Amino acid sequence: MNRETLLAQFERLLPLAARWAENLEGRILAQGVPLSPEELRDAKSVGVGEPERVRLLCLASVPVPDDPLLRAAAAAVQFLTPATRGLALRYGIFVRRDCWRDRRLIAHELVHTAQYERFGGIEPFLQQYLSQCLTIGYPAAPLEQEAIVAIARLDFGQMG
């Protein structure tokens, strides 16, 4: 599936992506753990309005959609690959097991949580984020760049 096909099917894919994200957010909120005091401070520093709602869930790998169309779309834009270390779904954040409690990764995902809040929910955020990934590309997408810049401003002290 190429980018042109994805763009043409975007209006059909968006509700599928939002439903997938909402279901997974529910799972994380039910099974996940709250942020540590340090992560709560980072969440506030990057603009999360309700950091106490955030939960983290440790998994061997970040899940991919069951829906074949959605899975193909994610693969086509190199989103949710085996290399994916974390994924923010509003207040639920998946963290790959080998990256568990990686402060920089969690802070990066918390910037996305703040973006979900700013856009007013899962579907409005995904509409912006995924359209940027499709048109500009994942690493250059403005919302992704915002997260990179925001964590660069955090003081990680002696962390490597």
| DSSP characters over 123-148 | HHHHHHHHHHHHHT-TTT-HHHHHHH
Q: What is the pLDDT of residues 118-149, one digit of tens each?
A: 999 999 999 999 889 888 888 899 999 999 99
User: Is residue 31 scored above 70 in pLDDT?
Assistant: yes
Confidence category of residue 62, pLDDT binned at 50, 70, 90: confident
Confidence at residue 118, expressed as pLDDT on a 0 to 100 scale: 98
Q: What is the largest CA-CA distance in the chain?
A: 47
CA-to-CA distance for 103 and 38, rounded, in angstroms? Answer: 9
Higher pLDDT, 79 or 154: 154
pTM, two decimals, is 0.92
